Amino acid sequence: MNKWTRAAIPALLIHCSIGTVYCWSTFKQAIAEQIGMSTFAVGWAFSLAIFFLGMSAAFAGKIVEMNIHRSSLISAVCFTVGMLGTGLTIYLFKGVLALILIYIFYGCIMGIGLGIGYLTPVKTLMLWFKDNKGLATGISIMGFGLAKAIATPIMELLQNKLGISPMFWILGAIYFVMMFAGHKLLKKPEGWVEDKTTNDSFKVSSMFKNKTFIGIWLIFYINIHCGLMLITYEKQLLNEKFAGLAILAAVVSIVPSVTAICNALGRIGYSTVSDKMKDRATVYGIIFLSCVALCGLSAIFSGSGFIVIALLMVINLGYGGGFSTLPALLESRFGMKNISKIHGLSLSAWAVAGITGNNLSEIILSHTGNNYTVIIITAMALYAVAGVIYFLMVKAKKA
């Protein structure tokens, strides 16, 4: 019974499993070729997974608040069924039927497992690490970001040796074992009992009438939206900026791992720093300022590939930091009692951003002749808007 075995380790087991959703680009092309559909059509499976992640978290708050063991088991089962079902679909079917089944298994069922699993350990971590809430959530949510760096080479190896379907089956089984172990270990501190009356009396509508919550929701949404606009096009950006150079192959192979590490470091770094700040929301001000600055430099020096690498690193740091700082920021504004429900509601911003982020980039590219600089300028403008919202609606007012 200690904070590492009952909170940190189980949270990492769960988040390192479900965080592999961000390995999508590793096998998207292979799925499209296997079932005979376009990568654009197949890409909606990822958008649906993020949408169902956010929406299931938004509506599962009460379940998570009262029974983390029920929610962690639901997460493990849904995530595993989604993985195994996706692999079986690719093996058995082609065309539109395969596409629909992938939407159902990978997008809907696995997405529900993602959302409930993401939300489940967060309050437990903050209860165990009551003096370092940012560090606690940073540890867990770092696992979600680090999963891409860990799983990508494993997925590529399994694809090359065994094929795309066996990859899903093998990893689905491994992740179930990890998540089930996390489910068995996860436990709130001795003596902590959730108040059923408080849980039942919580009104969702009250949060969307609260100016501070609306502000947090908006800046969280914009940070994810802009992150997805650029993160999902990392390889294309690098290919364009380093085209014709001898170092192209090395850059394309190394930089995605570097940015994945930045994503993970942002999750642990920004949230830990927030523990030392008078106002945790200051982290978002730093994120938006740094992102506007690097987007501006990348737009001015559009021919420089190394500035684009720096941009992708800063974007990933801020993208991860926005996620990990969010729970402790919400707790600082609304208290601990309903934090799972409030955190879940805020994750609906992730659901919307999962639909709008990379798809806005697709629209921009199709109307500008694949001009990636326009994407960068658009992101810069949106980051600036988020900075204004932060100052007007989220930043703590001086007494």
Give yes or no: residues 298 and 175 share one domain: no
Percent of the chain scored above 70 by pLDDT? 99
CA separation for the pair 82, 85 (Å, rounded):
5
Residue (of 182, 131, 132, 134) closest to 18 by Cα position: 182
CATH number of the domain bearing residue 154: 1.20.1250.20
- Pick from 131, 154, 186: which residue ends a domain? 186
Task: List, for residues 149-198, the tens digit of each pLDDT value.
Answer: 889 889 999 999 999 999 999 999 999 999 999 999 999 998 887 777 77
Residue 195, in any domain of the structure? no
Give yes or no: residues 152 and 235 share one domain: no
Residue 52, in any domain of the structure? yes
CA separation for the pair 22, 32 (Å, rounded):
17
Q: Would you say 327 and 19 are in contact if contact means Cβ atoms under 8 Å apart?
A: no
Give yes or no: residues 143 and 270 share one domain: no
Residue 71, in any domain of the structure? yes
- In terms of residue numbers, what domain contains 331? 204-399
Cα-Cα-Cα-Cα dihedral of 98, 72, 157, 240, to 10°?
A: 70
DSSP of 324-360: HHHHHHHHHHH-STTHHHHHHHHTHHHHHHHHHHHHH
Residue (of 132, 199, 211, 137) closest to 338 by Cα position: 199
Give yes or no: residues 157 and 210 share one domain: no
Give yes or no: residues 277 and 174 share one domain: no
Residue (of 48, 36, 373, 350) closest to 236 by Cα position: 373
Q: How confident is the model at residue 261 (pLDDT cuts 50, 70, 90)?
A: confident
Structurally, the chain folds into a number of domains equal to 2
Which string of b and e fits 349-387 if b means at least 16 CB within 10 Å? bbbbbbbbbbbbbbebbeeeeeebbbbbbbbbebbbebb
Task: List, for residues 207-246, the tens digit of each pLDDT value.
Answer: 989 999 999 999 999 999 999 999 888 888 888 889 888 8
**Dihedral sign of CA atoms 160, 164, 169, 173 in order:** positive
Residue 198, in any domain of the structure? no
**pTM for the predicted model, two decimal places:** 0.89
Which pLDDT belongs to residue 163?
A: 95
Give yes or no: residues 210 and 132 share one domain: no
**Mean of the pLDDT values across residues 60-78?**
92
Give yes or no: residues 168 and 252 share one domain: no
Exposed / middle / buried, residue 106 (Cβ in 10 Å: 0-12, 13-18, 19+): buried
Give yes or no: residues 73 and 222 share one domain: no
Q: How confident is the model at residue 139 (pLDDT cuts 50, 70, 90)?
A: confident
Write down the residue that tokens 């990822």 correspond to: 46
Task: List, for residues 269-281, the tens digit of each pLDDT value.
Answer: 999 999 999 999 9
Write down the residue that tokens 């436990």 correspond to: 187
Residue 196, in any domain of the structure? no
Q: Would you say 71 and 60 are in contact if contact means Cβ atoms under 8 Å apart?
A: yes
- Pick from 141, 156, 186: which residue ends a domain? 186
Q: What are phi and psi of 245, to 5 degrees?
A: -90, 150
Please state whether 200 falls in left (phi above 0), alpha (psi between -120 and 50) or beta. alpha
Residue 389, in any domain of the structure? yes
- Pick from 186, 220, 235: which residue ends a domain? 186
CA separation for the pair 296, 299 (Å, rounded):
5
Residue (of 261, 305, 382, 260) closest to 297 by Cα position: 305
Give yes or no: residues 158 and 220 share one domain: no
Residue 262, in any domain of the structure? yes
Residue 192, in any domain of the structure? no
| 399: pLDDT strictly greater than 60 | no
**Mean of the pLDDT values across residues 44-57?**
92
Give yes or no: residues 176 and 213 share one domain: no
Which pLDDT belongs to residue 40?
A: 84
- Count Cβ atoms below 10 Å from residue 250 Cβ, excluding itself: 11
Task: List, for residues 308-359, the tens digit of each pLDDT value.
Answer: 999 999 999 999 999 999 999 999 999 988 899 999 999 999 999 988 988 8
Between residues 196 and 43, the one the model is more confident about: 43
SS3 label, residue 94 = coil
Which string of b and e fits 274-284 if b means at least 16 CB within 10 Å? bbeeebbbbbb
Task: List, for residues 88-130, the tens digit of each pLDDT value.
Answer: 999 999 999 999 999 999 999 999 999 999 999 999 999 999 8
Which pLDDT belongs to residue 182?
A: 97
Which pLDDT belongs to residue 344?
A: 94
Give yes or no: residues 8 and 152 share one domain: yes
Give yes or no: residues 43 and 119 share one domain: yes
Write down the residue that tokens 């079986």 correspond to: 88
CA separation for the pair 30, 309 (Å, rounded):
26
